[in-house]
């Protein structure tokens, strides 16, 4: 009797001191403008203590003498840096229940606790300042990017996969053949969940895919309805062939990417992708990175030709030509005020390729304009996308009379016309670098008629000067390329008027002189980025 009184007294004291248990009724995630919060709703306000774990980053709220009638619970959330929260009910002192609310994060941040009223507690954390610059992870990415550690020795493959999936709160379907799949020994430390599943299953002849939040494991050689999913991606900027090539290293062994056109005969502005559902998070990320507006580059080119002087045996001598003009000052709105042409030209002597600023280009043009043997051949402008080849050709076709066959018995010889092209062509592929420089892959050809041959002197002789090079030019600057020299040898007849044309006396009153001159081709290239 005395013992019973003591037990009743202890029970009364325990309930008086410890109090009745508080119930957690609901928990809700809510997103605000600048922060996320978890709202915990009780039937009273419990006592609590908090703790933080640095590796992996976890914030834990331990609620004393608190119960939760829904059992252990977890939910993945899009609340970066928070990824998931879980509720675990544990036994405490004197049969008191303790409730652990854990928030798993990508990095530790300050979590504030506030009691809104007598029944509601709020856990809140700020959004990252650079949230707009960070790609939000999908639910699949969030789950399968979580790090796991495993250490098994001679364990059944069935048990390893089941424990791995269940520990991460995922649903699982296993085929009957995997039950007797044998044993596996492994040691994985802090690897992504997806990589762990791939490593464990593929090496044993199995594979997995996710469908409606269920992980399905099957043998590699078997097919399963719903294993693959088809999606069509609309491409606004990138070509379908480029996107398809970029996905080659991302698609699984059963995946494919086919460029298609929205209209018959049009460009490949769409991409049909067929692959496992788990692969689409990475596929979408790559397509988003590729399908962005590309800058354009305008390329202005001047083809100029000048006849070399007798003293210019090794190419154009800018110093010599500048001295022939004199110390003329050029007004360039303050950019190069009070600079003499002779000083500038001296810096360019001996160069076959040099980068120029726009005022320097204007000064060189002044030197060439003062020489009546210089002429502008063509001045094409072409605009193209970054790393996209562009081609332009300017010229003419000359019809040439060409005999056909040996002629007929009546002495007539059939003729036909063939076109002789004389063009200035340019093919260029620009590529922008991060340092505001533009790499140019240039292939150009300049053709010109230098004379005529044949019985009637009606067949043109065409010279060709070709250049195939890759250069680097700063955005908005100009590059001068020289050294393309052509030597023209021609016969000139000097004669006395009237007497030099008489049939018998023309040899006395005329003479033939061989003339030789050199002409140098100068190419000015100015690329500019156009957004």
Q: Assign residue 282 the CATH number of its domain.
A: 3.30.1370.120
User: What parts of the chain have a pLDDT lower than 50?
Assistant: 1-17, 131-134, 329-343, 345-347, 350-351
Model pLDDT, residue 328: 53
Is 406 domain-assigned?
no
User: Among 130, 115, 1, 131, which residue's Cα sits nearest to residue 47?
Assistant: 115
Point out the domain boundary residue: 126, 157, 185.
126
Please indicate, yes or no, whether residues 111 and 148 belong to a single structural domain of this protein.
Answer: no
Please indicate, yes or no, whether residues 182 and 234 belong to a single structural domain of this protein.
Answer: no
Model pLDDT, residue 407: 54
Instruction: Kindly give, in sequence order, each residue whose CB lies less than 8 Å from that of residue 455, ignoring residues fewer than 6 positions away.
Output: none
Please indicate, yes or no, whether residues 488 and 517 belong to a single structural domain of this protein.
Answer: yes
Please indicate, yes or no, whether residues 98 and 188 belong to a single structural domain of this protein.
Answer: no
Q: Where are the alpha helices (DSSP H) in 353-433?
A: 358-369
User: Among 515, 459, 461, 508, which residue's Cα sits nearest to residue 492?
Assistant: 515
- Bridge partners, residue 485, by sequence: 520
Rounding to the nearest 10 degrees, give the CA dihedral for residues 68, 69, 71, 74: -60
Is 344 domain-assigned?
no
Model pLDDT, residue 363: 76
CA distances, 226 to each of 13, 215, 233, 310 (Å): 62, 12, 20, 82
Model pLDDT, residue 306: 82
Please indicate, yes or no, whether residues 86 and 146 belong to a single structural domain of this protein.
Answer: no
Model pLDDT, residue 337: 39
Model pLDDT, residue 201: 85
Is 502 domain-assigned?
yes
Model pLDDT, residue 6: 46
Tokens 């955005």 appear where? 475
Q: With beta carbons less than 8 A apart as the criterion, state whether 224 and 214 touch.
A: no
Please indicate, yes or no, whether residues 392 and 501 belong to a single structural domain of this protein.
Answer: yes
Please indicate, yes or no, whether residues 369 and 471 belong to a single structural domain of this protein.
Answer: yes
Q: With beta carbons less than 8 A apart as the criterion, state whether 157 and 184 touch.
A: yes
Please indicate, yes or no, whether residues 490 and 359 belong to a single structural domain of this protein.
Answer: yes
* CATH number of domain containing 177: 3.55.50.30
CA-based radius of gyration for the chain: 42
Point out the domain boundary residue: 78, 99, 126.
126
Please indicate, yes or no, whether residues 393 and 441 belong to a single structural domain of this protein.
Answer: yes
Gap between the Cα atoms of 67 and 59, Å rounded = 20
Model pLDDT, residue 233: 92
Which domain range does residue 108 map to? 22-126
Six-digit token string for 352 = 């076959």
Q: With beta carbons less than 8 A apart as the criterion, state whether 430 and 438 touch.
A: yes
Please indicate, yes or no, whether residues 361 and 508 belong to a single structural domain of this protein.
Answer: yes
Q: With beta carbons less than 8 A apart as the criterion, state whether 317 and 441 touch.
A: no
Full strand arrangement of the beta sheet holding 112-115? 66-67, 22-31, 35-42, 120-126, 112-115
Model pLDDT, residue 329: 44
Model pLDDT, residue 257: 92
Please indicate, yes or no, whether residues 382 and 457 belong to a single structural domain of this protein.
Answer: yes
Please indicate, yes or no, whether residues 397 and 522 belong to a single structural domain of this protein.
Answer: yes
Instruction: Kindly give, in sequence order, each residue whose CB lies less than 8 Å from that of residue 289, ignoring residues fewer than 6 positions away.
Output: none
Is 408 domain-assigned?
no
Is 343 domain-assigned?
no
Domain count, the chain: 4
Point out the domain boundary residue: 170, 198, 219.
219
Q: Does the model's pTM come out above 0.85?
A: no
Gap between the Cα atoms of 512 and 491, Å rounded = 7
| H or E stretch at 199 | helix 193-202
CA distances, 76 to each of 103, 125, 140, 241, 415 (Å): 10, 16, 10, 37, 85
User: Among 72, 130, 131, 135, which residue's Cα sits nearest to residue 100?
Assistant: 72
Evaluated on CA atoms 281, 287, 293, 294, the torsion sign reads positive
Gap between the Cα atoms of 296 and 130, Å rounded = 29
């Amino acid at each position: 009797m005395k013992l019973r009184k003591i037990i009743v007294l202890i029970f009364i004291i325990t309930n008086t001191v410890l109090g009745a248990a508080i119930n957690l009724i609901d928990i809700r995630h809510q997103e605000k403008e600048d922060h996320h919060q978890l709202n915990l709703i009780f039937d009273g306000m419990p006592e609590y203590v908090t703790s933080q774990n640095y590796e992996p980053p976890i914030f834990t709220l331990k609620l004393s003498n608190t119960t939760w009638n829904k059992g252990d619970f977890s939910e993945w959330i899009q609340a970066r840096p928070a990824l998931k929260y879980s509720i675990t009910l544990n036994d405490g002192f004197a049969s008191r229940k303790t409730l652990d609310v854990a928030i798993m994060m990508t990095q530790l941040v300050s979590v504030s606790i506030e009691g809104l009223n007598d029944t509601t507690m709020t856990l809140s954390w700020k959004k990252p300042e650079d949230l707009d610059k960070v790609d939000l992870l999908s639910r699949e990415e969030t789950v399968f990017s979580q790090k796991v550690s495993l250490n098994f020795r001679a364990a059944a493959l069935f048990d390893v996969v089941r424990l791995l999936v269940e520990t991460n709160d995922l649903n699982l379907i296993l085929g009957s053949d995997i039950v007797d799949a044998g044993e596996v020994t492994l040691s994985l430390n802090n690897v992504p969940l997806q990589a762990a599943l791939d490593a464990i299953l593929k090496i044993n002849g199995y594979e997995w895919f996710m469908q409606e939040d269920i992980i399905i494991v099957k043998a590699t050689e078997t097919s399963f309805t719903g294993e693959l999913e088809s999606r069509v991606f609309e491409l606004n900027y990138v070509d379908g062939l480029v996107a398809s090539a970029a996905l080659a290293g991302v698609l699984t062994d059963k995946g494919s990417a086919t460029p298609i056109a929205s209209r018959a005969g049009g460009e490949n502005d769409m991409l049909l992708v067929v692959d496992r559902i788990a692969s689409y998070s990475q596929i979408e990320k790559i397509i988003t990175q590729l399908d962005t507006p590309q800058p354009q580059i305008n390329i202005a080119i001047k083809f100029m030709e000048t006849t070399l002087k007798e003293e210019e045996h090794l190419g154009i001598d800018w110093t010599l030509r500048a001295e022939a003009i004199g110390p003329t000052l050029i007004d360039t709105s303050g950019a190069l005020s009070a600079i003499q042409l002779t000083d500038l030209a001296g810096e360019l002597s001996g160069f076959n390729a040099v980068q120029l600023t726009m005022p320097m280009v204007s000064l060189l043009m002044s030197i060439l304009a003062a020489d009546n043997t210089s002429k502008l051949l063509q001045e094409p402008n072409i605009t193209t996308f970054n790393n996209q080849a562009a081609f332009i050709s300017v010229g003419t076709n000359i019809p040439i009379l060409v005999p056909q066959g040996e002629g007929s018995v009546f002495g007539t010889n059939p003729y036909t016309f063939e076109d002789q092209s004389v063009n200035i062509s340019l093919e260029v592929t620009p590529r922008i670098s991060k340092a505001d420089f533009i790499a140019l892959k240039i292939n150009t050809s300049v053709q010109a008629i230098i004379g005529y041959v044949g019985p009637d002197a009606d067949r043109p002789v065409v010279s060709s000067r070709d250049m195939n090079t890759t250069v680097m030019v700063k955005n908005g600057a100009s590059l001068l390329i020289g050294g393309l020299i052509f030597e023209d040898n021609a016969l000139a007849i000097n004669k006395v008027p009237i007497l030099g044309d008489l049939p018998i006396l023309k040899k006395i009153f005329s003479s033939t002189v061989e003339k030789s001159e050199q002409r140098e081709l100068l190419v000015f290239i100015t690329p500019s980025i156009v957004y």
